[in-house]
Structure 1
Amino acid sequence: MLITFLFVLSCNGSVNAVNKKKKKTTPAPATTQVAVPKSKKLSKYEQLFKDKSHVATEGGFMTVHKVKGKLYFELPLKYMQREMLLACAPSSSSSTTFATLGFKSNTPLHIKFVLKDSSVYMCKVNTTTTLDLKDQREQHVLRENFTDPIMEVYKIDAYNHDSTAVVFNMTPVFTGYSKLSPVTQGGGGLISKRATIKSAATKLEDIKAFEDNIVVKTLFAYDASLAIMGNTAVTVPLTLEATHSLLLLPENKMRPRLSDLRVGIFLEGKVLLSDHQDGMSQYTLAHRWRLEPKDKEAYRRGELVEPVKPITYYLDPAFPELWKEAIRDAVMVWNQAFSKIGFKDAVQIKDFPMNDPSFDPENLKYSCIRYVPSSEANAMGPSWVDPSTGEIINASVLVYNNIIQLINNWRFVQTAQIDPRVRAKKMPDDIIKESLTYVIAHEIGHTLGLMHNMAASSAFPVDSLRSASFTQKYGTTPSIMDYARFNYVAQPNDKGVKLTPPDLGCYDEYAIKWLYTYFPDESDALGEAKIIEKWVDEKVGDPYFRYGRQQVDLRIDPSAIEEDLGDDPMKAGTYGIKNLKYILKNLNTWITDDDDYSHRASLYSQIRAQYLRYMMNVLYNVGGIYLTDVKEGTPGKKKCAVKRETQRASLKWIFNELKNCDWIDNKSITEKLDLSVPASSTIRSAVMKNLLASYPNVLLSASVAEKPYTGIEFFDDLYAGVWESAIQNRKVTENDRVMQEAMINNIINMANPGDGKGLFGVTSETEFAPSLDEILVYDLDETGLVQYFKEELRKMESEYGKGFVATQLGITHFGQGYKWQRKVNTSAINDAKTRNNALGLKIVNLLTQKVHTAPDRVSREHYQAMLTQLEKNLKNK
């Protein structure tokens, strides 16, 4: 796993630069009105700022001027070529749909300013390619091939009085620069957000300068719209204040940490050109905060030592008091992991400073936990880094108001069978605090550099989740970075069972150890990497420490999916479904203070979604492949097909559920709710659609298996399960009708590929992309737009097939560059046309008999309709 090179240089210089003494921090001076001294002849500098509207602010970094609606930088020459981050985020807005407080919708720009003749160039720092070349080749190659591209050019308007700084007009960057838009725009081809700026209403407001950064606030006005397929659905006027933050990056760069793909950490991709190897190679650096002990000798002795600079979060005062308690607990719990590697109070949380002019929550200097008063049920934890080293510079945790509704739903549908406290319309405070702490701790993990580990929960045997002693020790998962949720396996009579994930799992502590252990006796990143690589080697084969990537493009590993528990989805699903039946039966008894039935409607919707998850969790076994990153020379397999017997048993389990899912249509509940199609029909339709589209997975799995579950066997088992009513000559049920019509429609789509649809309803581009139902039940869309437009998108997917929506929205490209398992083109082994034709003829032969011998008229008419469609579409094909 180690990158075999001796030393890494970033394109703009060495990652190990000379140490410089830090200046003592001083309070930010107030912005002042500048009086220009009277003079017979004003200098260019004085002429530029002679207007009475001129205000300026000066810090240790630079002076910023505002005059006549324009913004000028007075940048000292000593800061030319210095690397900086430039970011923008909303600080107030009129709509949370288009702007989220504190959220940087565009990645901060990694820039530097360069003085050339009479101009200042704003350049993007080029750090993607690194060099390790002999003699003078390195500088020559660097100079000619990997220069810093120019983004903008500014004319020098003046020099300051002693010619130590240049003045230039930066107004366009702060009044509508597209690369820094504070509005969340774009989207896929299906759904888009747009915001057209009203230039006349744009106004520069406050300016501040500090020791190593500046802040510029701008008032923006937009015409904002939300559209689907080019048709505008929502148009609103949008006004917001945006905070721009320009921050000097350290000259003394943090030592980077070379990544190991067996540990789930956010990464910074690099390319290495070296004389020590053939060809250019790719490698990655881990994202992490710069955490160094104050007392290195004490740290070396194994004592707990405070860090030079702790990781500090600032808490938004807008949160309810109960939420604040949970958030503080969620932050501080991570100190458990840091204390085990020698750091005391490494993570801290403080309230927003009051009456402190130097504090601004949108400033890159401060990492904040923000309250978002939005109907979206979500939380997120983005972070921003110095791209040259992977050092995390800034992070945010955004907590949306309706996350509390999501917690309510989770706890009810997953634990109401065993926990009487959650059998209420409003959860008690201890449940809210406990659950919210878990959600926020997960997001804090992201801001520390940890990615989702979707394989974690599959490490535990399902029956262990019913054990009080086991769950009290481990919770529901070895990592809170999984979407493990709450203990839906526990049965009503299981006593003392823990229902929640752990405060921190053993994998989380292991990941923090790998990422943040300080090595006072190592001189470079390569030396450190050799040590921590051995730590990972020691855990090979231990499922508690296995990392499983989140799957988007290729959803094929049943052990690394969201919203699941345990090592056997069939057993876990059986327990979960038993609990859902119990909960649904008692829903009207437990929830009574709900006169308009709106809360029961919400819970019923969640029960349906949870049931569909259990079925989908099992469906991933069919054509499943376990994927694990394996280093040469260590045990394990990189890819291992799910056993043939398990795949067949899973398919049988699914058919059994499809035949017996009418319980979900509980009339004592549904008769009180709004008119809708029976839930059993929508669930059957969703499962069948995904099942029939899983053939590429089956083929891929068979190609790597020692004893494969073949495509022929899969089609035979589909035929036996879907057409059981005809084979056994019994009456057709509603379930039979749904499954059979779904299969006939897929056969027809495959037989008529010229209409833009592919084999079995998918194309080669979309065959592994998630369906709309997968996007919804596994929370693969963080924008909330899929939920908003789900009915329109469902119609499109019905017409164009599984994966179309995900591909058009760009959801399949989520996490680009972070080593996701990409899609695989199966066209070379895909015999779906042959299998489809054989299946169609087999069904024709069956129905030709059954249209006359079926036991009742309804069955005969149904078979006749299916037969007519098949004969019409298979003729001459």
Structure 2
Amino acid sequence: MRKINMTSLLIAAAFSIMATVPAEAKKKKQETPKPRKTAYQKLMDKGGRVSAEGGFVNLHKIQSKLYVELPLKYCGRDFLIASTTSKSSNSKLAIVGYKPQDPMCVCFNRMDSAIVLQTVNTGTIADNELQLAYNRNYANPIIKKYKIEAYNADSTTVVFDMTDMFVSDEKQLSPVSSNYSILGIKPTFQKDCSSLGNIKAFEDNASVTSTLSYNYSLTFLGSEVSNGRLTTEVTRTMLLLPKLPMKPRIADSRIGIFLTDKSKLTMASDGIEDFSYANRWRLEPKDSIAWNRGELVEPKKPIVWYVDDAFPEAWKEPLKQSVLIWNKAFEKIGFKNVMQAVDFPKDDPQFDPDNLKYSCIRYVPTPVKNAMGPSWVDPRTGEIVNASVLVYNDVIKLINNWRFVQTAQIDTRVRTKKMPDDIVKESLTYAFAHEIGHTLGLMHNMAASAAFPVDSLRSASFTQKYGTTPSIMDYARFNYVAQPEDKGVRLSPPDMGVYDLYAIKWLYSPIKGNLSVEEEAKELEKWVDEKAGNPWYRYGRQQVEARYDPSALEEDLGDDPVKAGTYGIKNLQYILANMDSWIKDDESTAHKQDLYDGITQQFSRYMHNALANVGGIYLTDVKEGTKGNRWQPVSAKKQHESIMWVMQQLRNSYWLDAPELTKKFPLALKRSISIRGGVGKKLLQLNNHILLASHITDNGYTQKNYYDDLYNGIWEPTIKGCKLTDGDKLMQRLVVKETVASVAKISNTATKKLTTNESNIYAPSISDIILYGLDPTGYVEEHANELQRIDDINGNGYVASLLHEKSFGDKVGYGFQFDVKTDLIDESAAYNLIMLNKIKTLIKSRVASASANDKPHYEAMLVMLKSLDK
């Protein structure tokens, strides 16, 4: 009973206490607890977050980190990541507007609790029946793995930290190339001086700007030549590729188009099949029915070019014109308004010249005499998705020099220090249109300019219709053949050559009917077959590793280099004789010196162009059953005429010295002597060319013919008993030195000094690199003497091989013609010995009666020849 009463009292006390608790406390205790924040909410709630939302991915910049929000539906979709330099503290090493590395083709995939980034294997494809084998053996490799930080509310997107892709030393996205001309670049990333910048997101792409800093050193052959610091701002774009790739077009080696190489697993041929897709923009008619009726129609998506607002105002019109003239080619295949050129938009918040979505023409204010037109593709199909034209400041200096040196004999307007506006616009339009051609997929066609007969270049009716070359994709330049008396002759290349029209038709014309890629290739092949054997439509590859073909050279005009050179030299003599009176306001003579260098280099090109005939072999890709020869040596008659012409021109080259003009210049050797030395050395290195050319024909120009011509040409003054000039003596010393060295190779008494490393005799020499513009940076020309010594030590072609690895020539092609070794059939030592004996006999017969100035020369030659008697 007592216990029950106590319980009642406790209950009563509890109610009493509850009655005294405030109502607010009662209410608070009864509330439902707040739900906990998700990982996604916590991340998004962090202070200072900046976000960019688009249709592909969302970007979040949070406390110096970059988070990517990826819709899972895009897992497995292919996209590109590309890096463009937006700002640079050194535009020689990191060029604004340029992508020094090809974009990465990648895809995201989910793997357990992570997102992996995989490189897409685009190099190999397979027939349907071999897809199982393909899937097992050509999987996409994983290159990055990211922890999933959060899911959104409905788990349709994932968030992960991708900072290291954008603020790190990511080699595949580096703004610094591994080289500059023949110099190596070793960049060292400075993370503490690098940071994340702006972020943007759009419907099918997103971009991230970063500031990246490096210490760098420039090296040559492993030795450091300079060092410094480099800071760049880069824009990296993630661009979603189309789910349905463009229908590719299989390349044909008889037409010069940039390529995307492929291998194919197939049972249709023995072994894995290697082939290439042609690089091209996706060009489709907006109205297919109207196009089929033969009407001009607009494309679904035009090719729009944005012109840099940093350009000098006077350059903008020719830049836009260089884009628009290509519409002539597209109109021929039924398209209108394909090519468009506009200024950088000032009121479009989406526009970013460094985003992969926009193709731009950019100004590079550095002292390089060049321009270039790279493009970047979807590697699955070869579809061009972006291109740039980079215009260096000093391209104007180069063009003005060409116009004066090559056309001042006939065009009075260019006889001035400052070119008139109309000449500048015409010349710039041509130069830039060439680069636009590259961005459309066209490679160099160095055979084009050799298609026209030389005398046709003096015809007003012919040149007004066709210009100076069938293709502006050659390095044809201006009409140096035209003589002062030729009236109405066109002096510049055409706006659009016949080959260019043909190449655009092959590359971009839609093929009627729903044909397969292979069926389309058969139709396109017929178009090329129709032009086979016609030199106007012949494609000549740029000769990189080895230079065999005299008809596929840079900087030449016409089908006969001797005839073209004869006209050209006559013009140079006229120009040089009048240059001092034409050029005013040049007190320092710096401009005249530059023009004089241009004149002497032009003369050297004529010599080299003609010497390319000697031992030359024409190379043409030929399909069996069509016209033409895959290889054919230059006729013996033309080889003989070419070598004799060069020796005659060298002997008569004193007009180049122009003493009344050059006495105003800094102290230097007479230019005729320098050129004789350079060209003379080339003249004496043609033996192996001749050996191979004569080996592949029964009635060719032989080694014996070559050595006889050398003897008769170089020793002509001695044979005739004439007094020798300084140039004669130089050539004779060269021939004795070179022939003694050749014979000494098989002699037990040969000195180590006479034994040189193996040369690639077909590779471009130092003089070739300079004369034909094979090093766009000008570094080789600046250091020609030092580099020549390196070539002398390591063998001819050594420097050229370094350049090709780094920056020289078209980088892709259908397989280049490499050096053919001829040592198994070489009898040059025997012919050299015969010639040396003839020289020794000749000198001995002349030394006694020689003049006081010539006698020491002959005696020195005899001393050199005695080394072989031991």
Distance 1:40 1:854 in 2: 116
Distance 1:263 1:114 in 2: 40
Distance 1:755 1:262 in 2: 48
Matched, 1:380 2:372: yes
Matched, 1:91 2:86: yes
Which one of 786, 806, 826 corresponds to residue 800 of structure 2? Answer: 806
Could you say which residue in structure 2 is the equivalent of 1:45?
40
Distance 1:179 1:478 in 2: 39
Question: CA shift at 1:752, angstroms?
Answer: 4.9
Question: CA shift at 1:243, angstroms?
Answer: 0.9
Change (3 A) 1:77 1:129: same
Which one of 67, 70, 80 corresponds to residue 72 of structure 1? Answer: 67
Distance 2:563 2:613 in 1: 13
Letter of the 2:272 counterpart: M
Could you say which residue in structure 2 is the equivalent of 1:611?
603
Could you say which residue in structure 2 is the equivalent of 1:868?
863
Letter of the 2:189 counterpart: I
Question: CA shift at 1:476, angstroms?
Answer: 0.5
Contact 1:207 1:215 in 2 (8 A): yes
Letter of the 1:283 counterpart: F
Question: CA shift at 1:230, angstroms?
Answer: 3.9
Could you say which residue in structure 2 is the equivalent of 1:418?
410
Distance 1:238 1:103 in 2: 16
Which one of 730, 745, 769 corresponds to residue 775 of structure 1? Answer: 769
Letter of the 1:94 counterpart: S
The 5 Å alignment of 1:390-789 reads 390-750=382-742, 751-752=744-745, 763-764=758-759, 766-789=760-783
- Write out per-residue CA displacement over residues 361-412 of structure 1, whole angstroms, 9 at most, x where no aligned residue: 1111000011111110111100011111110000001111111111110100
- Write out per-residue CA displacement over residues 530-569 of structure 1, whole angstroms, 9 at most, x where no aligned residue: 2221111111122111111111212111111111111110
Could you say which residue in structure 2 is the equivalent of 1:20?
none
Question: CA shift at 1:48, angstroms?
Answer: 4.1
Change (3 A) 1:854 1:269: farther
TM-score (norm 2): 0.92
Question: CA shift at 1:335, angstroms?
Answer: 0.7
Distance 1:690 1:866 in 2: 21
Could you say which residue in structure 2 is the equivalent of 1:262?
254
Matched, 1:245 2:240: no
Change (3 A) 1:39 1:551: farther
Question: CA shift at 1:268, angstroms?
Answer: 1.2
Contact 2:545 2:804 in 1 (8 A): no
Distance 2:738 2:866 in 1: 14
Change (3 A) 1:735 1:295: same
Q: Which shifted more, 728-737 or 670-679?
A: 728-737
Matched, 1:313 2:308: no
Could you say which residue in structure 2 is the equivalent of 1:100?
95
Change (3 A) 1:672 1:254: same
The 5 Å alignment of 1:105-120 reads 105-120=100-115
Contact 1:415 1:488 in 2 (8 A): yes
- Give the greater-gyration-radius structure (CA): 2
Contact 1:450 1:511 in 2 (8 A): yes
Secondary structure of the 1:858 match is coil
Matched, 1:182 2:171: no
Could you say which residue in structure 2 is the equivalent of 1:154?
146
Letter of the 2:802 counterpart: Q
Question: CA shift at 1:748, angstroms?
Answer: 4.7
- Write out per-residue CA displacement over residues 234-281 of structure 1, whole angstroms, 9 at most, x where no aligned residue: 433322211111111111111111111111111111122211222222
- Write out per-residue CA displacement over residues 628-685 of structure 1, whole angstroms, 9 at most, x where no aligned residue: 1111111111111100010011000010011111111101111111112221122111
Distance 1:123 1:739 in 2: 62
Could you say which residue in structure 2 is the equivalent of 1:123?
118
Could you say which residue in structure 2 is the equivalent of 1:849?
844
Letter of the 1:781 counterpart: D
Change (3 A) 1:452 1:714: same
Distance 2:489 2:691 in 1: 41
Identity %: 50
Question: CA shift at 1:851, angstroms?
Answer: 7.2
Matched, 1:366 2:366: no
Unpaired segments ≥5 residues, structure 1? 1-37
Change (3 A) 1:264 1:49: same
Distance 2:725 2:600 in 1: 21
- Write out per-residue CA displacement over residues 197-230 of structure 1, whole angstroms, 9 at most, x where no aligned residue: 2211101100111111111111122223433344
Question: CA shift at 1:740, angstroms?
Answer: 2.4
Q: CA RMSD in A?
A: 2.2
Contact 1:781 1:811 in 2 (8 A): no
Could you say which residue in structure 1 is the equivalent of 2:6?
none
Distance 1:320 1:131 in 2: 51
Could you say which residue in structure 2 is the equivalent of 1:23?
none
Matched, 1:56 2:48: no
Secondary structure of the 1:218 match is strand
Letter of the 2:768 counterpart: E
Question: CA shift at 1:139, angstroms?
Answer: 2.5
Distance 2:323 2:427 in 1: 14
Could you say which residue in structure 2 is the equivalent of 1:166?
158
- Write out per-residue CA displacement over residues 139-178 of structure 1, whole angstroms, 9 at most, x where no aligned residue: 3211222122232233333333322222222222212211
Secondary structure of the 1:425 match is coil
Letter of the 1:869 counterpart: M
Letter of the 2:588 counterpart: D
Letter of the 1:181 counterpart: S
Tell me how many residue pairs correspond in the alignment. 832
Unpaired segments ≥5 residues, structure 2? 1-32
Q: Which shifted more, 103-112 or 701-710?
A: 701-710
Secondary structure of the 2:159 match is strand
Matched, 1:823 2:818: yes
Contact 2:703 2:828 in 1 (8 A): no
Letter of the 2:785 counterpart: E
- Write out per-residue CA displacement over residues 279-336 of structure 1, whole angstroms, 9 at most, x where no aligned residue: 2222111110000001111111111111000111111111122211111111111111
Could you say which residue in structure 1 is the equivalent of 2:12?
none
Letter of the 2:184 counterpart: S
Question: CA shift at 1:839, angstroms?
Answer: 4.6
Could you say which residue in structure 1 is the equivalent of 2:18?
none
Question: CA shift at 1:513, angstroms?
Answer: 0.7
Contact 1:690 1:802 in 2 (8 A): no
Distance 2:732 2:34 in 1: 92
Could you say which residue in structure 2 is the equivalent of 1:795?
789
Could you say which residue in structure 2 is the equivalent of 1:31?
none
Letter of the 1:793 counterpart: L
Letter of the 1:200 counterpart: D
Which one of 103, 107, 131 corresponds to residue 139 of structure 1? Answer: 131
Question: CA shift at 1:422, angstroms?
Answer: 0.3
Change (3 A) 1:271 1:870: farther
Could you say which residue in structure 2 is the equivalent of 1:351?
343
Distance 2:754 2:156 in 1: 66
Q: Which shifted more, 365-374 or 529-538?
A: 529-538
Change (3 A) 1:133 1:863: farther
Distance 1:112 1:836 in 2: 64
Secondary structure of the 2:252 match is coil
Question: CA shift at 1:716, angstroms?
Answer: 2.3
